[in-house]
A and B are shown apart, each in its own frame.
Chain A
Amino acid sequence: MRPSLLALLALLLAGCATPALRGTGDLGLIIERADGSVLIVESTHQQVLARVEGLGDLSHASVVYSRDERYAYVFGRDGALTKVDMLRQNIARRVMQSGNSIGGAISQDGRLVAVANYEPGGVKVFDADTLELLADIPAAYGDGKFSKVVGLEDTTDNRFAFSLYDAGEIWVMDLRDARNPVIEKFRSIGRQPYDALVSMDGRHYIAGLFGEDGLALLDLWRPECGVQRILDNYGHGEQPLPVYKMPHLEGWALSGEHAYLPAIGRHEVLIVDRHNWKEAGRIAVHGQPVFAMVRPDGRQLWVNFAHPHNDTVQVIDTVTHRVIATLKPGKAVLHMEFTPRGEHIWLSARDDNRVDIYDTRTLQHLGSLPVRSPSGIFFTARAHRIGL
């Protein structure tokens, strides 16, 4: 073989072996809830890179990321835990770990993935690398019953906190030794905790209660003080409106001074003073809030709503606490996600099969991506946030 031909061949081989290098910090996943697929997207050029299929029932799904932002862990409704490779754009590993799950979290050190299950009620902990089962914690309460688990959040010191919907309890799980979790239980925290959040510093775990007007707060720096009720009786005994979609709590709801929490069965966002956890006001909004998410710098609050007001999103100024914009992005806006530093927000309009991108400064619509029944949008920057 002639040397020039050899050189050409070597060049070709090298070309095949080395795909273009790229980072993952501007990537994300969008859930296509009806098809069991996810889209890998890139927020710098606002484009879809790939569709990954075969993830099962994603009618309620959430995502956490490995600390290198290479892998996504997708928690599916049907109990599947799927590890998606963001660069190879395929499924790296997948386990069916329960019959029905609601979400999960990744540990501070990135080595453990924990999943909250409805059926059988409890938490399972997996090796983030291999998805090998390391610990199984049934949410046992009362006389041999098992509770659905909600609001599973990671916090500092490789701990997780979660709530027992049927039992009205909060458990804090220390995974210093992953195969032998140490659990601290807080009982009688209130009826029907439905979701929870952890503050960005990992200190405060707040569970929303469906069965009572109020929220349960646990100071993880001072667990000996127990669970405290905040915003007690915020409904003043009035009959709440019927709730057609449960609100979601997420770590995004806290700015420096305030926490913004959706009121259950009311067209209101509750404002809490983070220094004393007392109510600092309430903001009348268009419908029952589902997500109330603070832009990463804390300057704006974006709120979406439950059926039948789910075609609307409102933007609230966090200094004046006034609604500064009412947007109608599309039919059934299910989720919102800010780009890592918050200059843009992506909104999923499920029934329009579209994700819309808005500039958060001008509030102008920048563009749309075609997505089949989109629900959750999750950018990789979540990898480095406690409680997300």
Chain B
Amino acid sequence: MRRHPLVLLFAALLSLAAATTQASAEVSVERQRELLHLLRHDCGSCHGMTLKGGLGPTLLPQALAGKPGETLEATVLYGRAGTPMPPWRGLLTEEEVAWLVALLMKGVPDAP
């Protein structure tokens, strides 16, 4: 079957859009708000609401500096064996975790 040039163009446009938007655009503004809440309150139950640490380590940018983003994303997605860090896969998508990790590395705005 020969594909119609228009279909091809449409497919190309779609893949281009997917490639350029990346993580942040795939997480809606409303979901970002929910994730921020989850970060402060649920991650915060171990890492501290201000992310200065608790039973779990601090997640402030200076502590994460130099650590590869993929490693941090994997830690969130798959957890850390031998520690209380649980895997969030199933509750969070890869895009959401990437968004959270990028935010952590940059620093979370202070307002709760």
Identify the A interface with B (CB < 8 A).
33-35, 57, 59-60, 77-78, 99-100, 102, 118-119, 148, 150, 165, 192, 194, 210-211, 242-246, 307-308, 332, 350-351, 373
A102, A194, A307, A332 pick with most chain B CB within 10 angstroms: A307
* Smallest CB separation, A29 vs chain B (Å): 18
Whether B53 and A242, one on each chain, are in contact in the complex, defined by CB atoms closer than 8 angstroms, is no
A-B CB contact pairs (8 Å), 11 listed: A34-B112, A57-B50, A59-B50, A77-B54, A100-B48, A242-B79, A242-B86, A244-B91, A332-B41, A351-B41, A373-B41
CB-contacts of B50-97 with A (<8 A): 50, 52-55, 79, 82, 84, 86-87, 91
CA distance A100 to B47 in the complex (A): 11
Q: A60-B45, A118-B53, A165-B55 are in contact. Are A242 and B87 (CB under 8 A)?
A: yes
Query: Does B27 sit within 8 A of A, measured CB to CB?
Result: no
User: What is the predominant secondary structure among interface residues of chain A facing chain B?
Assistant: loop
How far, in angstroms, from A35 to B54 measured CA to CA in the complex?
A: 18
With contacts A100-B54, A102-B54, A332-B41 known, is A244 near B49, CB below 8 A? Answer: no
Cβ contact within 8 Å between B84 and A59:
no
Chain B residue total in the interface (Cβ 8 A): 21
- Inter-chain contact A118/B41, CB cutoff 8 Å: no
Chain B positions 5-25 with a Cβ under 8 Å from a chain A Cβ: none
CB pair A100 B53 closer than 8 Å: yes
In the complex, chain B residues whose CB is within 8 Å of the CB of A57? 48-50, 52
A246 to B54, CA, bound (A): 12
Residue of A nearest to B46 (CB): A246
**CB-based closest 9 A-B pairs:** A59-B49, A242-B86, A34-B112, A307-B42, A242-B87, A59-B44, A243-B86, A245-B45, A244-B86
CB neighbours of B37 from chain A (8 A)? 351
Say which residue of A60, A99, A243, A308 sits within 8 Å of B84 (CB atoms): A243
Query: Which chain A residues lie closer than 8 Å to B44 at the CB level?
Result: 59
Cα A236 to Cα B45 with chains together (Å): 28
Extra A-B contacts (6), CB below 8 Å, given A60-B54, A78-B52: A34-B40, A59-B44, A78-B50, A99-B52, A100-B52, A148-B55
Are B48 and A77 closer than 8 Å at their CB atoms?
yes
Measured between beta carbons, the chain A residues less than 8 angstroms from B49 are 33-34, 57, 59, 77
Q: Known interface pairs A59-B44, A307-B42. Does A246 touch B84 (Cβ–Cβ under 8 Å)?
A: yes
Give min CB distance, B35 to chain A, whole Å.
13
* Residues in chain B near residue A308, CB distance under 8 A: 91
B34 to chain A, nearest CB (A): 10
Bound CA–CA A211/B83 (angstroms): 8
Q: Nearest Cβ in chain B — how far from A36, in angstroms?
A: 10
Complex CA distance for A165 and B49, rounded to whole angstroms:
21
CB contact under 8 A between A350 and B41, given known A243-B86, A246-B46, A246-B84 = yes
Residues in A neighbouring B87, C-beta threshold 8 A: 242
Q: Which residues of A contact B86 (CB under 8 A)?
A: 242-244
A160–B53 alpha-carbon span in the complex (Å): 25
Which residues of the other chain, A, contact B54 by a CB distance below 8 angstroms?
A: 59-60, 77, 100, 102, 118
Q: CA–CA, A165 to B46, complex, Å? A: 13
- Would you give the shortest CB distance from B25 to chain A, in whole angstroms? 26
